Amino acid sequence: MYKDNIVQDFSDEAWLAFHQGEINDDDDFYNFKHEWIDNKVIYTYEARKICDKLDYDVFQEHDVFGKAENYSQAGFCALYDLLNDDDDVVRWNEMEEVLNEAMENEEA
């Protein structure tokens, strides 16, 4: 349930940012995701809770970011993996489809 809530929160906020014009391409989406994760792991207590709830081994070597030096870094890795691996999280290509459909409708 915790994972589902995180995925849903991220997806909802990403769609909102998209519809408000803050996400317009893949780079914007990438930046939004990283800022969103950063905001979730600012406080050690929250970062530790994320690691615990997502059953993330804080001592493991991450494929992209290497070994975490603190709970905030470990929490970032845990959320990053969740948002990249979960099938239900929104992806840029879904937003791009909506953008392309809107452009096609404007041309018609």
Does the reported pTM lie above 0.75?
Answer: yes
Question: Would the pLDDT of 108 be above 70?
Answer: no
Tell me the per-residue pLDDT of 40-79, one tens digit each, with 9 for 90 and over: 999 999 999 999 999 999 989 999 999 999 999 999 999 9
Angle at alpha carbon of residue 43, lines to 17 and 87, rounded to 5°: 45
CB 84 within 8 A of CB 65: no
Confidence of residue 12 (pLDDT cuts 50, 70, 90): very high
The beta strands (E) that lie in 9-94 are given as 61-62, 66-67
Residues of the chain with pLDDT > 90, as a percent, come to 88
Distance (Å, whole) CA 19 – CA 37: 20
